Structure 1
Amino acid sequence: MKFRASNKLPLFPHHRMALHHLQNQRRFLTSFFAKKVHQAAQARASFNGGGRADSNGGSYLVPGATVATILMLGALHARRLYEDKKVEEARERGVEFEFQPDVKASFLRFLPLRTISRFWGHLTSVEVPVWLRPYLCRAWARAFHSNLEEVALPLEEYASLQEFFVRSLKEGSRPIDPDPKCLISPVDGIVLRFGELKSTGAMIEQVKGFSYSVASLLGANSILPMMAERTHKEDDLIDNPPIEQGKKSWWRVSLASPRVRDPVPGCPVKGLFYCVIYLKPGDYHRIHSPADWKILGRRHFSGRLFPLNERATRTIRNLYVENERVVLEGLWQQGFMGMAAIGATNIGSIELYIEPELRTNCPKKKLLQSEPPEERFYEPEGVEITVKRGDEVAAFNMGSTVVLVFQAPTSESSAKDESSGFSFCVKKGERVRVGSALGRWHETNSEV
């Protein structure tokens, strides 16, 4: 016997009703979630001012640039951990790396580092969805040890990593040393080198075994106070330092970077000091005024963009002199004051608050490194730029290096007298913050 199912009457009526009810629930959930996504997109558009969301009000998709940025952060973090571990182990053993150029550093000249840096700048300026911003900022802070408790704004308000790089801090996060007879640190960073310029040519030690001249760093038209007095024999010693015969090689001679001649032949005047401070990627990136001073001019060198890490400083000649940099020069109560903000790979963009129209890391127009820099003198234009201690002057769009060159009082006595003259109160390798004292001086009473 065969049974036939009727087309009009269901064999299992309760099953057909359940299926119909399930389809109604599915339609309701689909429309509900579609409405929620649409409302979330409209909320993001209103939060961003209406100009950053999709023009149709649709959902904000995560761009591929954001994924690439996250991958870049992971690579940078792994590399930083490896290099920091090697440096710390060497310092614990009391080992100081000496200058020793290699082939790998020389081939950096053939890489389009300026183009790479501009690409990184565009990548970090890509707007990130609001919901992803806190995670990205926290990932960066965790990778590079940034202190999020000091951040002035909520993390959701930093639309890109670039905005987070140049973030401002909460009021009172960087107190200024109240002592009027001290020079404060203009940045957060690590003190690499400091001291008084005494040798012929006013040489700053880049790393043990190699130095560069202050005049080459600041430029030929610098108002750096020098005494024009130097012999040909001393010239040869500076440009051709003695090297052990066993350490010479064909690679070092053929691939060495070109020498940068000292444009101001002379000896430094008495009381000329310097301090080199390195900023890590996770540091606070704004540059403040180290003292009350009057800025007379600006000089922009559109040079190379070599990295400024530990390996680069001991393998690349004239690293600070060849890299792109912005130099500010002027006068303070003790005489000359110069501050050089030096760019590096991925950090060619330097913002100057006192001259917002200045653009750095542009497509290179100069073919030769010997061409003069772009200069602007504020004093002849009738624009008097006076800044006070702690005022914001400039900013890096990541981390880099600042070199201070300044005059300060010195002791008049032949013997070392700590009660008079300028003396540094920091140590090599010490971390400093904006507003903390780099050095102090005590004026002697000349009336006695």
Structure 2
Amino acid sequence: MTAAKLFALLQYPIPHHLLSRLVGCLAECRIGWLKNALVKLFIKQFKVDMSEAVEEDPEVYPTFNAFFTRALKADARPLEEGLLCPADGTLSQWGRIEEGRLIQAKGHRFSVSDLLGGDPLRASDYRNGSFATVYLSPRDYHRVHMPLTGTLTEMVYVPGRLFSVNDATTRYVPGLFARNERLVCHFDTEQGPMVMVLVGAMIVAAIETVWSGQVTPLSGRVERVRFDRPITLERGAEMGRFKLGSTVVMAFANQVDFDAISPARDGGIEVRMGQQLASGDASD
């Protein structure tokens, strides 16, 4: 048995939510010396470039979470042309959705319906569309932005486990992104329906959106919120953030030719928010 498989299997009995909430409490601690020690250790461990941040002094942030979700300077992530990458991280999978199923990792697929919380009607829009998955590691910028302009129509909270979402678990935990707690955000765009799924993970304290503030954790049932008044977010605008790292899965009803992406490599491709993923629009 490989170390990666053992790591994945050992996560099944762990009390995911309890551990994550305890970490969340620590991340909101306002005891100055403790918070500063955690932040400085994190910067050193993950080689965080504070020169990109609006506030470069790590001691100014009131909590670890405030540091972790720090804003960047306006010129730190210039927006390129075409369809944008929504976040810093690793582009692990991308391409066509085949008969309503997405690729999680080599040998593993999962359904759009499961990802969206068991909504076959919504899932039918994406049956033969396109998708891309971005994994945010602890060192990355943790705000999520819009790949193109969209109007929010519905937000769905889907309860679930909180497995880690690193390479080991994506390879060995079937249906990982459709098993973890997640926030599903449906948008109408000029290129057709688009959904942004913010996937929770081990020790992710919470997920926030710009329109609702902190959303997770919620109850143990699926909760849907419809938006009668239009909430339109421009291409490149912030739409949400993670308090500790996780994954974004975005899907498009129409097909996208990810022609701006280099050929796949083992371990995925490092990307940055604002980077071009596709030069053209989604097409029927």
* TM-score > 0.5, shorter chain as reference: yes
Tell whether 2:93 aligns with 1:193.
yes
**1:149-193 CA-partner distances (Å, limit 9, x unpaired):** 11111222112211111101112111111x3xx110111011000
Match for residue 432 of structure 1? 271
Match for residue 165 of structure 1? 68
CA distance in 1 between partners of 2:95 and 2:176 (Å): 19
CA contact (8 A) 1:166 1:284 kept: yes
Which consecutive segments of 4 or more residues in structure 1 shift more than 6 A? none
Residue 222 of structure 1: how far off its partner (Å) = 6.1
Higher RCO (CA < 8 A, seq sep 6+): 2
Secondary structure in 2 aligned to 1:109? coil
CA distance in 1 between partners of 2:11 and 2:180 (Å): 13
Tell whether 2:112 aligns with 1:214.
yes
* Rg larger for: 1
CA distance in 2 between partners of 1:285 and 1:401 (Å): 10
Structure 1, gaps ≥5 residues long = 1-85, 87-96, 228-266, 367-371, 411-421
Greater percentage in helix: 1
Residue 268 of structure 1: how far off its partner (Å) = 2.1
Q: Write the mapping of 1:48-447 to structure 2, written as runs, cut at 5 A.
A: 105-106=8-9, 108-129=11-32, 133=36, 136-153=38-55, 154-177=57-80, 179=81, 182-197=82-97, 199-200=98-99, 202-221=100-119, 224=122, 226=124, 268-269=127-128, 272-356=129-213, 358-362=214-218, 365-366=219-220, 373-378=222-227, 382-408=228-254, 422-427=257-262, 428=264, 429-441=268-280
Instruction: Report % sequence identity.
Output: 29
CA contact (8 A) 1:130 1:156 kept: no
| TM-score normalised by L of structure 1 | 0.57
Residue 124 of structure 1: how far off its partner (Å) = 1.5
Secondary structure in 1 aligned to 2:17? helix
Greater percentage in strand: 2
Structure 2, gaps ≥5 residues long = none
CA contact (8 A) 2:92 2:134 kept: yes
| TM-score normalised by L of structure 2 | 0.88
**Aligned length, in residue pairs:** 277
State the superposition RMSD in angstroms: 2.6
Pair 1:442–1:406, CA change in 2 (3 A) = closer
